[in-house]
Amino acid sequence: MSQWLTLVARNVLRHRLRTSLTLVGLVVAILAFGVLQTVVKTWYAGVDGAVPSRLLTRNAISFALPLPKSYQKRISAVEGVRRVTHLSWFGGIYKDSKNFFPQFAIDAASYLDMFPELLVPDEVRRAFLRERRGAIVGRKLAKRYGFKPGDVIQLRGTIFPGNWEFLICGVFDGRDPKTDTSQLFFRWDYLNETLRVRSKAQADQVGVFAVDVVSLDSVADVSQAIDEVFRNSLAETLTETERAFQIGFVKQTEAILISIRVVSFVVIFIILAVMANTMAMTARERLREYATLKAIGFSPGYVARLILAESVLIASIGGAIGIALTPPVAARLAELSATLFPTLFVSINTVMLQALAAVVVGVLAAVLPMRRAARVSIVDGLRALG
């Protein structure tokens, strides 16, 4: 067995330049496949992280339109509702329009209770609840702009007029790598009190209500009951699960996601063609050697296994290097495109897909050379030019 493995390794190293170039192509292909798959999965991160028992109630016409804050009490009174909170998209600009990051006005205490995936230290939470202009920022956002507790930052309102100052009370972390920590949260009461002075028409309104239901079995009934309460009102509601709400966002860019997914598999197909060509050249050059092996008693299966092992070994080495490079490349890409991809986490499923792709490429690339080498007769093989 050890002699067979030694023979396979020597065959791999026989044409080092060709093997090296093939390896480079494999590394790039497996790396590109992994990064593209990670981008697609990141796009669905909000869907995967959705809590089944949480509902989101928004304006039935568009989520860009607000709802009266007074709806909160009526939603809370619906049977099956455990608690209700709200959030509003702020859309401010920090220094320059290219410095985009999500900003939400929230009902601080109830929101943090309902979203435990945001890990806020107790002292930060107390400071946030105490300071009317207070804000908390995610770890990634704080790192990106150097925000630290005690800093006062100013945002220029686009939806809500004027300049807005916020006091950074602290930094929160995510419960897992999929949690978005590129966000800023501040108190809705600060926003609302200011709007009553600057723009009364925008006061006492919120963007979305988040509803926690008592039982998963009652999610559908509670959704219908909430919407029924506001039927034929000036602002009818649409209540859906958090997962459905997130899917609605993803659907808007589904064509792009499908394109990315297709490109990732095209990359694998291309490297399969390159690998198959490499193994075909290798087998053609060694037909005389294979004929000699058969002449001294080795079976056609033995010859075929030599080619298969060489192909899988090259694919495995290239795949392993590509897989190892994927997390740092994804992390670097996340830094460069922080506004587009708040998190780029390489999942274990992506790694397994990369490994499977490498093995499949190695096996399929060897099929035709194996068949030819196994079927060639000793006479024809010895006649072949080496």
Tell whether the model's pLDDT for residue 214 goes beyond 60. Answer: yes
The overall pTM is greater than 0.75: no
For the segment 94-140, what is each residue's pLDDT rounded down to a tens digit? 988 888 889 999 999 999 999 998 999 999 999 999 999 999 999 98
The percent of residues in the chain predicted with pLDDT above 70, rounded, is 96
Instruction: Specify the pLDDT at position 33.
Output: 92
Q: Are residues 380 and 317 in the same domain?
A: yes
Q: What is the pLDDT of residues 1-56, one digit of tens each?
A: 677 788 888 888 888 888 899 999 999 999 999 999 988 888 777 666 678 889 99
Q: Are residue 374 and residue 328 in the same domain, yes or no?
A: yes
Domain match, 69 and 204 both: yes
- Predicted confidence at residue 385, as pLDDT, reads 57
Domain boundary among 187, 207, 235: 235
User: Cα separation of 83 and 80, whole Å?
Assistant: 9
Tell whether 270 is covered by a domain: yes
pLDDT digits 0-9 by tens, 341-377: 666 788 899 999 999 999 999 999 999 989 888 888 8
Q: Are 82 and 224 in a shared domain?
A: yes
- In tens, the pLDDT along 163-197 reads 999 999 999 998 887 788 889 999 999 999 999 98
Q: Answer yes or no: do 127 and 262 share one domain.
A: no
The confidence score (pLDDT) of residue 180 equals 83
Length of the chain: 386
Torsion over CA: 20, 22, 25, 31 (sign): negative
Is there a single domain that holds both residue 92 and residue 4? no
Q: Is the pLDDT score of 339 beyond 80?
A: no
Task: Report pLDDT for 291.
Answer: 87
Distance CA 290, CA 286 (A): 6
Find the domain containing 266 and state its range: 1-46+254-384
Residue 54 forms part of a structural domain: no
Q: Are residues 137 and 280 in the same domain?
A: no
Q: Do 71 and 217 fall into the same domain?
A: yes
**Is residue 71's pLDDT more than 70?**
yes
Residue 35 falls within a domain, yes or no?
yes
Asked if residue 243 is part of any domain, the answer here is no
Q: Are residues 281 and 199 in the same domain?
A: no
319: Cα within 13 Å, side-chain hemisphere? 23
Query: Residue 244: inside a domain, yes or no?
Result: no
Query: Of 235, 264, 287, which residue is a domain's last?
Result: 235
Q: Would residue 52 count as lying in a domain?
A: no
Is 240 part of a structural domain of the chain?
A: no
Number of domains within the chain? 2
Q: Tell me which of 173, 203, 235 is where a domain ends.
A: 235
Same domain? For 208 and 140 the reply is: yes
Residue 51 lies in a domain: no
Share the mean pLDDT of the chain: 88
Helices assigned H by DSSP within the chain: 2-14, 16-43, 45-48, 71-76, 108-114, 122-130, 139-145, 188-198, 219-229, 242-251, 254-285, 287-295, 300-336, 348-375, 378-383
